[in-house]
Amino acid sequence: MKNVVAPRIAALHGYVPGEQPSDAERVIKLNTNENPYPPSPRVATAVADAASRLALYPAPLADPLREAAAARYGVDPEQVLVGNGSDELLAICLRACACDGGSVAYPVPTYSLYATLASIEGARAIEVPMEPGADLPEALLMSGADVIFLCSPNSPYGTPIRLNEIARAAERAPGLVVADEAYVDFGGESALELLVDHPNLLVLRSFSKSFSLAGLRLGLAFASAALIAELAKVKDSYNVSRLAIAGGVAALNDYEWMTGSVQKVARTRDRVIETLRARGYRIEDSRANFFWLDCGDDGGDVVSRRLRDRGILVRFFDTPVLRSGVRVTVGTDEDMDAFLGAMLD
C-alpha cells in the first residue's frame, strides 16, 4: 500500500480502550467505569420517539439538550456545547486552542486519552507527575501551556482536585483550563461555580458514567458564551445525533434517577474499599465510581489475568507508575462480592 498517511499519524499508537467483550460474553465488567445500573426508562422512550424523524438532520448545536442542560445547571444555553461524548469535546478544545504546534499540560497519571489526543492534534504534551490528592505542581502552573487538562476526580485514583486549586490554575494559566468532571456526580465538587470569575475555564461533563449512557455518546462543555462560540467553529456540523439529543434531554429531566444510582454506587464503593483495607490493602479515598488497588508484589498484570480467568475484567495500565496495580470500577453489590471473593479467598 502507498504510504498515504501523514508520518505523524503513521507513528501514532492510537488510544487503546479497555476490553469491550461481545454482548454475548458473560463477564463482570469492572474495567471501563461504566455504571452497572440502567439509565432512566424515559431515555428509551424518548429515543424511540426520535427514531421516527431520522430522515432529518439534528439541530446543529443540539439546541433542545443545550436548553435542558442550561436549565439544570444554572447557566445560559449559549454557555453549553454538546459533544459526541466528552472525548469529542476534549479533542475540540485542543483543535481550537493548541493547534499549529501548541501545547497541552496535565498532571500524570491521568486519563490516558489526553496524550493520544495531543498526538492526533499535533500539540506538544507536557506531563507533570503528581501524587494522588496533592496540590497542583508548580511545574504545571508554570508550564505556559495553551491548554491544561485537570481531571477531577482523577483517574485512576479517584482523588479530587480542590476547587481553589482549579481556580489557581485558571488565574495563573495563560491559556484554557479544562476541568474534566466525567466522575464528579459520584462525590466530587464541581468547578461550575468558578465559571463566572474565570473566562478561560471550561467544565466538562459526561453522560457515560453517572447517567448510565456510555452507549449513547454524549458530553457537555460549560464555559463563557464567547469561548463556546469559538469552540463550536471546529466541531463537526451535526456532531450529535437526534437519538442522543432526545435521550440526553430525557436523562436530565429524570435527574433523580441518576442521583439514585450514583448513591448506590457510592455506598458499594465505600463498603468494598473498607473491606479491602481491613485485609491490609492501601487504597486512596475515591470520589469516583472506581478505585485504585495496589497489588503489591503480584503486580497488576498478574492480578488482572487471575481475575480475567474468573470472568472479572478490571483495568491494567502497563506504564512504569501504574503497572503495580489495577483500577477497579464499582459494579453492583453482587458484582463486587464476586470481585472480593476472587481477591480475598
Contacting positions for ligand PLP (CB under 6 A): 33, 85-87, 111, 151, 155, 180, 182, 206, 208, 214, 219
Burial of 320 by CB count in 10 Å (0-12 exposed, 13-18 middle, 19+ buried)? exposed
54 CB neighbour count, 10 Å cutoff: 11
Distance CA 204, CA 208 (A): 12
**Backbone phi, then psi, for 265, in 5-degree steps?**
-60, -45
- Smallest separation (angstroms) from ligand PLP to the CB of 207: 6
- Smallest separation (angstroms) from ligand PLP to the CB of 33: 5
- Smallest separation (angstroms) from ligand PLP to the CB of 15: 10
* Angle subtended at Cα 93 by Cα 131 and Cα 112, rounded to the nearest 5 degrees: 40
Q: Pairing mode, if any, of strands 124-129 and 103-108?
A: parallel
- Smallest separation (angstroms) from ligand PLP to the CB of 4: 29
Q: Which is nearer to ligand PLP, 73 or 306 (CB)?
A: 73
Q: Which is nearer to ligand PLP, 90 or 250 (CB)?
A: 90
- Smallest separation (angstroms) from ligand PLP to the CB of 167: 20
Q: Which is nearer to ligand PLP, 85 or 343 (CB)?
A: 85
Q: Which is nearer to ligand PLP, 239 or 343 (CB)?
A: 239
Task: Give the closest residue to 165 by CA, choosing from 176, 184, 179.
Answer: 179
- Smallest separation (angstroms) from ligand PLP to the CB of 216: 9
Q: Output the DSSP codes for 1-59.
A: ----S-HHHHT-----PPP---TTS--EEESS---SSPPPHHHHHHHHHHGGGTTSPPP
- Smallest separation (angstroms) from ligand PLP to the CB of 338: 23
Q: Which is nearer to ligand PLP, 19 or 334 (CB)?
A: 19
Q: Which is nearer to ligand PLP, 64 or 85 (CB)?
A: 85
Q: Which is nearer to ligand PLP, 33 or 103 (CB)?
A: 33
- Smallest separation (angstroms) from ligand PLP to the CB of 186: 12
Task: Give the closest residue to 12 by CA, choosing from 146, 145, 88, 121.
Answer: 121
Of all residues in the shown chain, the one whose CB is closest to ligand PLP is: 85
Q: State the cell numbers at 342.
A: 476472587
First to last CA, the chain: 53
Q: Which is nearer to ligand PLP, 292 or 343 (CB)?
A: 292
- Chain centroid to Cα 149, Å, comes to 11
Distance CA 245, CA 56 (A): 13
**Backbone phi, then psi, for 313, in 5-degree steps?**
-100, 125
Tell me if residue 203 falls in helix, strand or coil: strand
